[in-house]
Amino acid sequence: MSLSTEITSAAIATLIAGSVSTLVAMGIAKSNNTKRLEDSFDSILKIAVQYPFLENNNFTSLWDSKVDQTKEENLRYDVYCTLVFNFLERLCKHYSFNETKINDFVNMKDWIRTHENYWKYPLVKHENLDSYNQEFRALVEKYIGK
């Protein structure tokens, strides 16, 4: 075996080992990110169980930007919706905006529609435009039919 063959074999082995290591690390990172998303989703659901009005259409449909901001339930709903939409944007990014994969994780369309008025009428003007990326905003707008 010549020196150039040994170097080439060693280089190939190094490249293969490096590629395998990279793929394994990427798989672990994706799995860890999925676990974090699952934990975030569970946390949001626990809040909704503790305060069921947050997911009740009779409450959410009355939301507008002129709600009484001194009422605890309105303040709680504002923060809750921020959690929901932040979570959904992270979920969309995680699945590269693949709607099939996203909806396999959570029924995003119904969830967005439940909180449609919050999206349309944020307490801080332009909050949704400034807080979320364009691709996520377009997806939300598609679901609420704006």
pLDDT digits (tens, 9 = 90+) for 55-70: 999 999 999 989 999 9
In a domain, 91, yes or no: yes
User: pLDDT tens across 3-30, in order?
Assistant: 555 667 666 666 665 665 565 555 555 6
In a domain, 23, yes or no: no
Closest CA to 109 of 141, 69, 133: 141
Kindly report the average pLDDT of the chain as a whole number: 87
Q: What is the pTM of this model?
A: 0.79
Residue 94: Cβ within 10 Å count: 17
In a domain, 15, yes or no: no
**What domain range includes position 93?**
36-144
| Sign for the pseudo-dihedral over CA of 64, 68, 70, 71 | negative
Q: What is the dihedral of CA 28, 29, 31, 32, to 10 degrees?
A: 110
